[in-house]
Structure 1
Amino acid sequence: MWKHFKFDPNSVNFSCFTDEKFNKFDNLLRFEWEHAVSQDLFMFTIDYNAKQRILDDGDLNYIIGLNRDRQEKRRVPYLFEHVNIPFDNKKFHFNKIKDAEVLFSLDNEQQTDKHLIIINAAPIRPYHVLLVPYRELEQPQVIERNNLISIIFPDVANPMCLDSLCDLLLGQIIETKYVVTADCIVFGCEFVAASAHPYIVAGLNSLCAYASVNHLHLHGMYCPGRMFIQTLKCSVFHTKSNCYLLDSFQPQAFAFEVKHIDEFNKISQDVYKITNYLMLNNIAHNVAIVKGDSFSSADNVLRIFIWFRQSITNGEKFERCNFAFLELSGFMTMPDEKVYNTLTESEMCQHMNRLGLSVEEQERIKDDVKNLLDN
């Protein structure tokens, strides 16, 4: 059985400007990941010294790396034509992996199967993992809203047989509370906040935005340097919900900031409202959670971005640049050394901007999201 790491709200770290890289959480992740390497659970040999460089013809500090093996040796991604497709038990999913591929679980309770951190068998870079919430529910790659029921019973002082105890409790429920949360977003926030690493990221790709498996999961990894989305300024979009807009590029992104762990559930609900709207309207999207600067103060925060973009259907790949959540965030790996050697920031931005929806569609989406956040 895998280990369990209890999320500690008193030891969170939101800073992307720190020399500290690893704490108990990071040491466990790295130890278990290296143990998986020793068991030959990966599809190729991990290159710990892969080439990487910064695109230095601009101001983004955009990082690129070389990774030939991932494209050549990874599991062939499934082809999707729509953002919302039912879960298919006949295809690969995370209930089919070996137990040894589960590194550990993470939550603030003691549930060893609620929030699983597993290896990505074809990693982008060392310590690349997947975050799989409630894998036994076999949810498709859609951010779900979970209704968690909390039932408060009276104290029972005297021991009694089980049947009598059940009858008593069912007849004397004091209070039932329903807590609504987009649990996978909370999971992603806890993953990022639990780490000491300043450049850790968690992210989700929808179907038609380079998700390769239709079983709910996020990616998690340490990036080699600070990503531009950790510090880039964003404009105010919706004051009531504290939502911002990243409109420096096409595609655009909605953005939220989390200043304290008490906000995880509340902000996850707003993220759910937006991603659910995008899913229902068949709009491809990517989500990233990073540490960064506050949009409105000098605080350290978690930043959550939700890009809405052109769909990529049937696994279409482009010769030089392909953009999932990680590439939109500021880090891209590629299999072709010629592209690696010649890519510039200006060319990369041109490719990124081609993912933008039409001006009319963008304005319609933003108007609809404002209405959603008003309620």
Structure 2
Amino acid sequence: MEEKQVDNHLSRHSNTHKLIVNVSPITRYHSLLCPSVNNNLPQWVTEDSLRLVLEVMFLAQDRNLRIGFNSLCAMASVNHLHYHLFLENHDLPVENIKCTQIKGPLYAFDETYPIPAFCFEVPSPQSINGISKEIYKLIEHLLKNCIAHNIFITRGSNLVPGEQNLEIIRIIIWPRKSSPKPKILTTFYVGLCELSGWFPVYSQNDYDKLRTDDLEIELSKWKIDNFSRLCDQVGLLY
């Protein structure tokens, strides 16, 4: 019995999660959730960390909470496992964009959005364990094939056709072209926020010059060349 208690203590200690202050926030309350910090994990989504952030979304019960992830070569600025937490009170385009089913729980944005993305829905806390395994099939494929990606978790309309006015958690995953440079706060780069339709701008001059068409063109620059082929490949996982 004594030995079992020690093992449990070590297990809890090695799986310590921390919410820390972001030294470069883009909005108030912009924080970082660092799963399993004692394990010194790289910026590489784990299935456990995916379950954790989904649990946080449901626990918060706050419509304004968004959680995001930038992979390496997709604007991650440091190589330790972390997710971004934001509070934003405006609706975002990705929350209601229509999606088409690829296979099983896997959906994709329709062609009206300037950069393609995969999408999953989580209707309730009870579905977290099951859907996390399904989502991780896609993420693992991206990791194994060295495909840079951004993830955005938000509340939005349901994906299943014929079921209207249901708000669920959307998990949006963009496979994208790699960027070798980290994000610099005085320059316009495309990461998880920009892909969601939320564009942080750092000078009045830049803001005054922004046009919707220009933003869509900037997003489309990061489209991978073979999204249709990728859909066929990952469809075999489901």
TM class, shorter-length: 0.7 to 0.9
* CA shift digits 1:266-313 (9 cap, x unpaired): 111122111111111111100111011111223221000010111111
Q: Does 1:243 align with 2:145?
A: no
8 Å CA contact retained: 1:201, 1:220: yes
**Alpha-carbon distance, 1:111 to partner:** 7.7
Q: Secondary structure at the match of 1:313?
A: coil
Q: Does 1:308 align with 2:175?
A: yes
* CA shift digits 1:219-270 (9 cap, x unpaired): 00101311111122111121x2x22101433431110011111111111112
**Alpha-carbon distance, 1:112 to partner:** 11
Structural mapping, 1:27-38, within 5 Å: none
Structural mapping, 1:1-375, within 5 Å: 114-144=16-46, 182-238=47-103, 240=104, 242-247=105-110, 248-296=112-160, 297=163, 298-315=165-182, 321-358=188-225, 361-373=226-238
Q: Secondary structure at the match of 1:339?
A: helix
Q: What TM-score does the superposition give when structure 1 sets the normalisation length?
A: 0.56
Q: Secondary structure at the match of 2:190?
A: coil
| Structure 2 residues without counterparts, runs of 5 or longer | 1-11
Q: What is the rounded CA distance, in whole Å, between the counterparts of 1:349 and 1:184 in structure 2?
A: 31
| Structure 1 residues without counterparts, runs of 5 or longer | 1-109, 145-181
The CA RMSD measured in Å over matched residues stands at 2.1
Q: Secondary structure at the match of 2:23?
A: coil
Relative distance call for 1:205 and 1:342 in structure 2 (3 A) is same
**Alpha-carbon distance, 1:366 to partner:** 1.0
Relative distance call for 1:111 and 1:225 in structure 2 (3 A) is farther
The sequence identity of aligned pairs, in percent, is 30
Q: What is the rounded CA distance, in whole Å, between the counterparts of 2:186 and 2:37 in structure 1?
A: 34
Q: What is the rounded CA distance, in whole Å, between the counterparts of 1:113 and 1:341 in structure 2?
A: 46
Q: Secondary structure at the match of 1:332?
A: coil
Bigger Rg, which one: 1
Relative distance call for 1:319 and 1:366 in structure 2 (3 A) is farther
* CA shift digits 1:108-130 (9 cap, x unpaired): xx989633211112111110111
**Which structure's relative contact order is higher, taking Cα pairs within 8 Å and 6+ residues apart?**
1
Deviates more, 1:127-136 or 1:191-200: 191-200
Q: Secondary structure at the match of 2:58?
A: helix
* CA shift digits 1:164-207 (9 cap, x unpaired): xxxxxxxxxxxxxxxxxx11111211222222332210011000
Q: What is the rounded CA distance, in whole Å, between the counterparts of 1:354 and 1:318 in structure 2?
A: 19
Relative distance call for 1:318 and 1:333 in structure 2 (3 A) is closer
Relative distance call for 1:319 and 1:243 in structure 2 (3 A) is same
8 Å CA contact retained: 2:157, 2:166: yes
Q: Secondary structure at the match of 1:347?
A: helix
**Alpha-carbon distance, 1:369 to partner:** 0.5
Aligned residues: 223
Relative distance call for 1:111 and 1:140 in structure 2 (3 A) is closer
Q: What TM-score does the superposition give when structure 2 sets the normalisation length?
A: 0.87
Q: What is the rounded CA distance, in whole Å, between the counterparts of 2:149 and 2:119 in structure 1?
A: 13
Relative distance call for 1:292 and 1:340 in structure 2 (3 A) is same
Amino acid at match of 1:267: I
